[in-house]
Amino acid sequence: MMSERPRVAILISGGGSNMVALVRDMQSDDHPAIPALVLSNRADAGGLQKATELGVATAVVDHRPHGSDRAAFEAEVQAVLEAHKIDLICLAGFMRRLTEAFTRAWAGRMINIHPSLLPLHKGLNTHARALEAGDTWHGCTVHEVTGELDDGPILGQARLVVRPGERAQDLAARVLQLEHRLYPAVLRHFAAGDRTMVNLE
């Protein structure tokens, strides 16, 4: 049973710029959700300090002691999520593959942002691949997380026109700005139980 205002955990592995955008938006009075936790698999993730500065509880669950035992790592993550009474999960630069069992347990309550216009360019190095492919359009997608990598029902997309001769790092920076607009917009709908597609340019 979801609490009055859904309690959101944001899972990160790095700088957490998407996490900051989500938390800042949730801290406005009219937002339907509460930023309850920022959890990282890496103690050195820059986003942890940013979360603390924003007044959000943080936790670290290091994946390394578990080696290749993803289920053991996820059991530790699950215990922390339950301790914080989490209702919804936002993956934001979280770089660990999740098992089918974990994604099934959170089905319909876990979303992710991917830096491409899915289903194009699943996986890594999406900006270089979009340039390589000569794509006219590129951008980012927020989708529900399933057992398949970068798959699952699409909740929103933001797109831009690729500039001829643009470098991958410049394209990545422009897409990241779109991500910071798209993810908060989608979470507002998702947290209110509204799956209306969000499209931004």
The yes or no reply on residue 58 touching ligand GRF (CB under 6 A) is no
Nearest distance, CB of residue 22 and ligand GRF, angstroms = 9
Residue 114 falls in the annotated catalytic set: yes
The yes or no reply on residue 184 touching ligand GRF (CB under 6 A) is no
Please choose, out of 9-17, 71-79, 97-105, 148-156, the segment that lies near ligand GRF by the rule CB under 6 A: 9-17
The yes or no reply on residue 25 touching ligand GRF (CB under 6 A) is no
Nearest distance, CB of residue 1 and ligand GRF, angstroms = 30
Q: Which residues from 61-100 bind ligand GRF, rule CB under 6 A?
A: 92-93
CA distance 117 to 127: 10
User: Given candidates 87, 178, 179, 182, which one binds ligand GRF under the rule CB under 6 A?
Assistant: 179
Nearest distance, CB of residue 46 and ligand GRF, angstroms = 8
Catalytic residue among 31, 66, 84, 114: 114
Positions that interact with ligand GRF (CB under 6 A): 12, 14-19, 92-93, 113, 115, 176, 179
Q: Which residues form the catalytic set? A: 114
